[in-house]
Amino acid sequence: MEPIGDSSSSENNNTNSSGMMMISSASTSSMASSSSSPPALSRYESQKRRDWNTFGQYLKNHRPPLSLSRCSSAHVLEFLRYLDQFGKTKVHNQICPFYGHPNPPAPCPCPLRQAWGSLDALIGRLRAAFEENGGKPEANPFGARAIRLYLREVRDLQSKARGISYEKKKRKRPPPTLHQQGSSSSAAGVLPMPPSSSSGANQ
C-alpha cells in the first residue's frame, strides 16, 4: 500500500503538468495569432489607401457613374478641380493688391485652392495605387501627359500669385571634417609649426 501523501503528491504533479501544458498551448496559440496579424501600415501607405478610396467614391458619385477601366485623364482633371473646393491655400488673383506676396498683411477675397505640392504628392500616390490594384502602367490615367501639364500650370500660377519659388534648392555641402582640413592644409603646402624647445628659447 502506498502512503497517502505519495498518492496525493503524484496527483498534484499530474495536475500541475496538465495545467502547464494548457498554459503553454495557450501562449503558443496567442503567439501564432499575433504573428499572423498584418503589420501596421506606414503613414504613406495609409494615406495612399485613403486617397484611392476617395477617388473610387468620386467615380461612384459621378454622373453617370464611372468604372475604373473607363477612367481617363480627363476624369482625373475633373477630380483635381473638384478637390479645389476643399483647399486651404490662398491663391491671389492678378488684380489683388497682394498678388505676388508670400505673406500678405491683410485678408483678401481671393479663392482658396489646393496647394501645388499637395496635388503633386496626391497624383504620385494615386499613380502607384492604380498599378497596385491591377491597372496597367501604359493605361495609367494619373501618369498621362495632360496631368503633368496641368500640375505644371498650377505650379507656375501659384508661384507667381503667392510669390513662392518652387525651384529645387541646391544641396549644401557638409562642412569639412577635421581630417579633411588637415589633409587640405598639407596639400596646400602649409605645414604645422614644430614645438619650440625651452633651451632654444633661452638661447
For residue 68, is it within any domain?
A: yes
Instruction: Say if residue 56's pLDDT is above 60.
Output: yes
Which pLDDT value is given to residue 172? 61
Best-predicted range by mean pLDDT (2-16, 82-96, 175-189): 82-96
Q: Give the chain's domain count.
A: 1
Mean pLDDT, residues 50-72: 91
For residue 182, is it within any domain?
A: no
Q: What is the CA radius of gyration of the chain?
A: 35
Which pLDDT value is given to residue 52? 95
Q: What share of the chain in percent tops pLDDT 90?
A: 48
For residue 110, is it within any domain?
A: yes
For residue 109, is it within any domain?
A: yes
For residue 170, is it within any domain?
A: no
Summarised one tens digit per residue, pLDDT across range 87-130 is 999 999 999 999 998 888 899 999 999 999 999 999 999 999 99
Domain span holding position 132: 41-162
For residue 86, is it within any domain?
A: yes
Q: Is this model's pTM higher than 0.75 or not?
A: no
Instruction: Say if residue 170's pLDDT is above 90.
Output: no
For residue 201, is it within any domain?
A: no
For residue 194, is it within any domain?
A: no
Give the CATH number, domain containing residue 85.
1.10.150
One-character DSSP codes across 138-178 = GG-GGGSHHHHHHHHHHHHHHHHHTT---SPPPPPPPPPPH
125 contacts 54 by C-beta, under 8 angstroms: no
Omega of the bond leading into 174 within 30 degrees of 0 (cis) = no
Query: To the nearest whole number, what is the mean pLDDT of the chain?
Result: 76
- Scored b (16 or more CB within 10 A) or e, 23-42 reads eeeeeeeeeeeeeeeeeeee
Backbone φ and ψ of 112, nearest 5°: -95, 140
